[in-house]
């Protein structure tokens, strides 16, 4: 080849710099390069590593390479079969490999194999096959999935701090477990189920683990205690906050008859009367020493319903505030309020005509319902228990002025709501890890237990069952948040795979991404 041709070839195909190119020819769809290995290069024996250039014979390999100009490149490479000169070696002859170009049994160059593997890991089967077709590489979806499954597991040193979490293989039916490095968020291993025995076996095989971050799973907690009793268990702070939010919501809903005074007054109808009668029936039996299960059988109620009535100290606690959605009348509430204040007997039809002239587009029936529900006289629409809980859980510095004033007004309606607001703020302050938070947690538990907040008491019972891990979670800087992020990435991988090839392929995809 001419020197100019050789320079151009080195520029376009630098991976061929270690071989002798003899010819380059092109047809309609393919660029075919004929080359041979350099005869004076010594190669190491794959068994003993002895360098040799003693030739036994030659044979030709056909390698697919990266496309050039949108055309597939095929390299017809003649390589030598060499003789190992070490008489003690078990290998007599071996095929030479060109560094950076060939591997044993490979039908693609090293560069193309790297590209195909990256596409397979990123897009899985069918989508990866379509992309490779655009890149002039022929690979079926089955070939790509087989390529991923055949990849060796990456070598990862067992970290000192790990995080464990479960993820759905088939939601509601089967689950797996992912183990990650809690500091770098790199996946360490993927287990086929979430049974405690499986995690116990894995932990016993990796005794160097010192800290394990997890959620509130009792199964994982038992597995860690059994396998590594000296390891520190760290409860995830997000789950602590989530459980607090659930307890706070139930407390807010239980006291809706108090804070609902800030909105339209609740009317006592047939349902309220039935609730009061049922509350008295439940408490009459409980006062006589009847158990919860027997009370449920006698009154033909579910056990959870009886527990809910038993927690309420008075029947008014069972009432719920009315929920009103925003509607077309809301922008005209001030006008309606002024008209009804100056002329209490004003007909609804006249009010309808007046707001119609102001741009109201709703119906007369909607206006009737709006007035009869008492929403005109109220200062604001009744806030829902969900929204009130959101205000309680939001940091005070992040609340706008009107929401902060509303929260202060609502929480001052009864002593329990005031105590609840103080308890929520005190606990959320502990979720910033710091030394000494474990002692403050004990003080918080003692403070809340003297208040009439049964749902928070239930939350405290859950904390005390896992108190050591909770104390570690609020004092140590470790968190199971990276594991939650990995689980979200697993969901994306599952969508790419469309459920094909089972757990083995999914495990490889997780480990290599």
Indicate the average pLDDT of the chain: 85
* pLDDT tens column, 63-106: 888 888 788 888 888 888 888 888 888 888 888 888 888 888 88
Q: Using 50, 70 and 90 to split pLDDT, how confident is the model at 342?
A: confident
State the greatest distance between any 2 C-alpha atoms of the chain, in Å, as a whole number: 116
Predicted local distance difference test score (pLDDT) of residue 263: 47
Domain ranges of the chain: 3-107, 113-149, 161-236+479-512, 240-247+385-475, 265-372
Quote the pTM value: 0.69
Q: Identify whether the C-beta of residue 119 lies closer than 8 Å to the C-beta of residue 140.
A: no
pLDDT digits (tens, 9 = 90+) for 410-460: 888 788 888 999 999 999 999 999 999 999 999 999 999 988 888 999 999
Interstrand relation of 19-26 and 30-37 (parallel, antiparallel or unpaired) = antiparallel
What CATH number is given for 161-236+479-512 in this structure? Answer: 3.30.420.10
Residue pair 346/339 in contact (Cβ under 8 Å)? The answer is yes
The pair of structure tokens assigned to 335 is 């006008």
pLDDT the model gives residue 49: 83
Burial of 309 (0-12, 13-18, 19+ CB in 10 A): buried
Which of 330, 340, 319, 337 shows the shortest CA–CA distance to 266?
Answer: 319
Q: What is the pLDDT of residues 21-33, one digit of tens each?
A: 888 888 878 888 8
Residue range 179-195: average pLDDT? 91
Res 9: pLDDT: 65
Q: DSSP readout, 75-136?
A: EEEEEEEEE---TT-S-SEEE---TTT--TT-SB-HHHHHHHHHHHHHHTTHHHHHHHHHTT
The pLDDT of residue 321 is above 50? yes
For the chain, give the percent of residues with pLDDT over 70. Answer: 91
| pLDDT at position 240 | 93
Tell me the pLDDT tens digit for each residue of 359-396: 999 899 999 888 887 777 664 445 778 888 898 998 88
């Amino acid at each position: 080849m001419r020197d100019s041709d050789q320079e151009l070839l080195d520029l376009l195909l630098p991976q061929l710099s270690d071989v002798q190119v003899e010819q380059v020819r092109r047809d309609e769809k393919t660029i075919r390069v004929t080359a041979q290995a350099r005869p004076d290069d010594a190669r190491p024996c794959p068994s003993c590593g002895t360098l040799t250039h003693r030739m036994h014979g030659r044979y030709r390999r056909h390698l697919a390479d990266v496309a050039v100009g949108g055309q597939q490149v095929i390299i017809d490479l003649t390589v030598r079969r060499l003789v190992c000169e070490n008489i003690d070696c078990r290998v007599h002859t071996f095929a030479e490999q060109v560094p950076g170009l060939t591997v044993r049994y490979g039908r693609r160059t090293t560069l193309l194999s790297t590209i195909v593997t990256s596409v397979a890991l990123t897009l899985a089967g069918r989508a990866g096959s379509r992309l490779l077709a655009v890149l002039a590489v022929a690979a079926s979806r089955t070939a790509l999935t087989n390529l991923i499954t055949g990849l060796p597991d990456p070598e990862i040193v067992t970290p000192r701090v790990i995080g464990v979490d479960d993820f759905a293989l088939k939601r509601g039916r089967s689950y797996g477990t992912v183990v990650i490095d809690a500091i770098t968020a790199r996946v360490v291993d993927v287990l086929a189920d979430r049974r405690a025995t499986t995690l116990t076996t894995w932990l016993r095989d990796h005794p160097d683990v010192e800290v394990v971050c997890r959620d509130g799973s009792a199964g994982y907690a038992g597995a860690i205690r059994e396998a590594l009793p000296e390891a520190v268990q760290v409860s995830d702070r997000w789950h602590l906050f989530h459980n607090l939010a659930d307890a706070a919501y139930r407390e807010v809903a239980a006291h809706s008859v108090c804070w609902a005074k800030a909105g339209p007054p609740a009317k006592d109808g047939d349902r309220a009367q039935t609730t009061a009668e049922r509350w008295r029936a439940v408490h009459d039996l409980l006062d006589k020493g009847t158990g919860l299960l027997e009370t449920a059988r006698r009154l033909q109620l579910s056990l959870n319903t009886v527990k809910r009535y038993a927690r309420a100290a008075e029947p008014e606690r069972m009432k719920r505030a009315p929920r009103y959605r925003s509607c077309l009348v809301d922008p005209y509430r001030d006008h309606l309020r002024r008209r009804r204040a100056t002329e209490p007997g004003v007909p609804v039809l006249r009010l309808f005509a007046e707001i119609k002239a102001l741009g109201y587009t709703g119906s007369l029936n909607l206006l009737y319902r709006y007035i009869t529900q008492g929403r005109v006289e109220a200062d604001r629409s009744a806030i829902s228990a969900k929204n009130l809980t959101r205000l309680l859980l939001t940091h005070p510095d992040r609340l706008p002025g009107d929401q902060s004033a509303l929260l202060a007004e609502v929480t001052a309606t009864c002593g329990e709501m005031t105590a609840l607001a103080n308890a929520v703020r005190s606990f959320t302050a502990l979720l910033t890890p710091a030394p000494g938070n474990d002692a403050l947690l004990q003080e918080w538990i003692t403070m809340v237990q003297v208040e009439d907040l049964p749902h928070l008491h239930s939350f405290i019972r859950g904390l005390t069952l896992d108190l050591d891990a909770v104390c570690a979670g609020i004092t140590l800087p470790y968190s199971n948040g990276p594991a939650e992020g990995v689980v979200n990435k697993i969901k994306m991988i599952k969508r790419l795979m469309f459920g094909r090839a089972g757990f083995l392929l999914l495990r490889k995809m997780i480990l290599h991404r």
